[in-house]
Structure 1
């Protein structure tokens, strides 16, 4: 492995480009087979996500292992935007490490869990699999418009909880420091969820951790692609660009607004979400002359 040149490196968000934001599963079979083909070609692949390690194990790693990951490859997972990480092998996920230093206090977790149960359980659920951040997510049986309305109300209530606890919190343009003047946490809404997390967590932190892991098993490729569906996913490419790599970012939800960056930003025509992610992966399987397995 150490002597084999890697033609490409991939940093992949999960919700959107890999897993369908509707089904929350890998709904496009070619994504599985193409990831396996690329991994077999010594392409370092990191899943950098706000999702929990449990979600990645069940919805990403399990189907990859079932389809047959190669014995020799470079694959890694960074969950909760950098708070949780682990290697991935043909046998599944390796040892999971959690950075407890960035976790929300238990009292905040309990109050936010109760908030969901008491007022918002008809449209969202509290993600009990998170180990460092708090996340609530739209129920799959809930109307999206109803969820969006409820999420706006939840976000305000969660902000009030954090302020009442004296925890420094940022939400949009509003900032309330703690007693020492510090702001340690933020509220980060997405289209199907809200994360309440340490301000130190983000996709650039995940990218940094993934590169450090891959460098332990050999030289890093010069060419990288990051793929995501939110504006924060550009931070993966920002980190790669700052480190001097040849990078482009693939935006699979450009309707939110394509950011101006000093590196190329790619869209897959009119395709979005996992359809765009599937097309991107397939294009690299073809470009590298790899066999099509699906």
Structure 2
């Protein structure tokens, strides 16, 4: 199998899906992903999102628009907690790493808190297998949500202490969610899962790109670099502070989020000629 000129490790919220609309909102993103996949470019979506979200908001548009049967596309969900191939028929069999699952008592307490006291600003992501995710309601302004989130996060921290969840689990908050997860889960674990999956199938690339909107997304490129493979990272929300890394870190001018992701994918299609 020939070596691809490059491969893609893509966060979903931000570079692919709009963090406001929570879906692929720019048509060229789907079209360019399909073009790249048909050209043999290995593509992995590495996200904290659930497989259910990915199936509905990312995989379904790719399948509906004609994902190539020979494409090498893989999905890693919940930051490495579960994974599945992406096929022309949809998401393939899901594998789940139960070792990193949040204890049932913690899930019951955190999700119960969200439903009972914070349902006016946030909701429980029912699709998570190993993580807990409490997400901003789409009809709630960000400023209102962020104020509620500060109180919610403090309550979650108190719950984790009272339940003696221990050092094996943490709270991780983003601009649209609060997660409770194993400390073993992160984007480098997701990248390792994807790279190993491609390698097991003889799929290789001369170099890799990663793309994301949070500082933790740099960990995807960190894992590639650790393996001695050339890599560069696209930061689609550089306003949060770009990290100093031993590989190239780039931006798409003044563009952010999925607008930057769309421009980046267009460049990669152009690069193929």
User: TM-score under structure 1 normalisation?
Assistant: 0.92
Matched, 1:104 2:102: yes
Listed one character per residue, the Cα deviations across residues 127-157 of structure 1 (whole Å, up to 9, x for unaligned) are: 1111100000100000111100111111110
**Match in the other structure for 2:168:** 184
* 1:155-234 matches, cutoff 5 A: 155-168=153-166, 183-234=167-218
Q: Distance in 1 between matches of 2:68 and 2:3?
A: 17
Listed one character per residue, the Cα deviations across residues 83-108 of structure 1 (whole Å, up to 9, x for unaligned) are: 01001111111100111111111111
Q: Distance in 1 between matches of 2:136 and 2:171?
A: 16
Q: Displacement, 1:219?
A: 4.2
Q: Displacement, 1:244?
A: 0.8
The counterpart of 1:74, out of the listed 68, 72, 75, is 72
Contact kept in structure 1, 2:12 and 2:46, CA below 8 Å: yes
Contact kept in structure 1, 2:225 and 2:231, CA below 8 Å: yes
Q: Displacement, 1:25?
A: 0.5
**Match in the other structure for 1:252:** 236
Q: Which moved more, 1:211-220 or 1:189-198?
A: 211-220
Q: Distance in 2 between matches of 1:203 and 1:222?
A: 21
The counterpart of 1:153, out of the listed 151, 155, 167, is 151
For residue 207 of structure 1, give the secondary structure of its aligned residue in structure 2.
helix
Q: Displacement, 1:73?
A: 1.1
Q: Distance in 1 between matches of 2:14 and 2:184?
A: 23
**Match in the other structure for 1:17:** 15
For residue 85 of structure 2, give the secondary structure of its aligned residue in structure 1.
strand
Cα RMSD of the aligned pairs, angstroms, is 0.7
Q: Distance in 1 between matches of 2:203 and 2:172?
A: 35
**Match in the other structure for 1:144:** 142
Q: Displacement, 1:222?
A: 2.1
Q: Distance in 2 between matches of 1:68 and 1:160?
A: 48
Question: How many residue pairs end up in the alignment?
Answer: 273
Runs of 4+ in structure 1 off by over 6 angstroms are: none
Structure number with bigger Rg? 1
Q: Distance in 2 between matches of 1:222 and 1:161?
A: 47
Q: Displacement, 1:210?
A: 0.2
Q: Displacement, 1:117?
A: 1.3
Contact kept in structure 1, 2:11 and 2:213, CA below 8 Å: yes
Q: Distance in 1 between matches of 2:227 and 2:138?
A: 39
**Match in the other structure for 1:243:** 227
Matched, 1:130 2:114: no
User: TM-score under structure 2 normalisation?
Assistant: 0.99
Q: Distance in 1 between matches of 2:172 and 2:106?
A: 16
